[in-house]
Structure 1
């Protein structure tokens, strides 16, 4: 049985005639559908990970030996939240941490063997999900969409100042 997309706080009349709002609404709906399917696959595979835990695994997969401070800077999350996420993933055997040889006050974090295996499975599924999402689009269309979304992101980042 397919679950309907949540309609809470959605007012189609409010965005009619506003191209920019329609685009942002479409991006929101796409990410909601993507994350819903991502979480469904996690449940089906019996992985009990929250969205941020997946992000933490991905960060340390891309930055092995990174520090919690590196993750704070990258994610924009506060130190306490990052510390809780790392601690929880270490307790589950998905991350390993050791003191930095050059600075014993600093911790270096890597994926454990189990964390690497899980991240590889998640990354594989994400690739399949991305391929399904882009089905029917040419490489050129995908490149154009990525460039346009990059401009949207840059606009938003410029407005944060």
Structure 2
């Protein structure tokens, strides 16, 4: 097996394991993986973003983002508002409750990362992250 294929397969395995781990950890907060990622992205965006922008950043279908946002809105983590200029677009605003949850999510992510990569030194993890940062995301060079 060549190095590219071995790396490709290993990243797939790690991605699935990370997803399952995140589901377990975020369940402690009553959230699923997508909901936790949405709250994190909203925090990184300064608390407000469009639904389409969030879907693009998550690489998931807009309707899946809509379902997750509906669940978050029902629990007062976010508020959605139609764009006055484009009625098809929704703005999403994180609430105080959502911001508090985002802080808890950040703590859990640190705990998860330490457990997930417990066989590596932090410097080794940084080196691997640097190398993987050179990989172009799929579709990045398509116009």
TM-score by length of 1: 0.69
Structure 1 residue 126 displacement after superposition: 0.7
In 2: Cα distance, 1:24 partner to 1:42 partner: 27
Matched, 1:53 2:35: yes
What is the distance in 2 between the residues matched to 1:37 and 1:77?
19
1:117 to 100, 111, 126: 100
Instruction: Give the structure with higher Rg (CA).
Output: 1
Q: CA deviation at 1:23?
A: 0.9
The root-mean-square deviation of aligned C-alpha atoms, in Å, is 2.7
Alignment match, 1:74: 57
Equivalent residues in 2 for 1:121-160 (5 A)? 121-135=104-118, 136-139=120-123, 141-152=124-135, 154=136, 156-158=138-140, 160=142
Q: Which has the higher contact order (CA 8 A, sep 6+)?
A: 2
- What secondary structure sits across from 1:97 in the alignment? strand
Unaligned runs of 5+ in 1: 1-16
Consecutive unaligned residues of structure 2, counting only runs of 5 or more, are none
For 1:46 and 1:155, the matched residues in 2 are separated by: 31
Distance 1:71 1:138 in 2: 30
Are the counterparts in 2 of residues 94 and 112 from structure 1 also a CA contact under 8 Å?
A: yes
**Aligned pair partner of 2:69 in 86, 97, 101:** 86
Instruction: Provide the rounded CA distance (Å) in 2 between the counterparts of 1:158 and 1:84.
Output: 27
1:61 touches 1:110 (CA, 8 Å); kept in 2?
A: no
1:19-70 residue CA offsets vs partner (Å, 9 max, x unmatched): 2121112112222222222222233x261x3322222222212111212232
Alpha-carbon distance in structure 1 between the residues aligned to 2:56 and 2:97: 26
Q: Aligned residues, how many?
A: 140
Separation (CA, whole Å) in 2 of partners of 1:36 and 1:160: 31
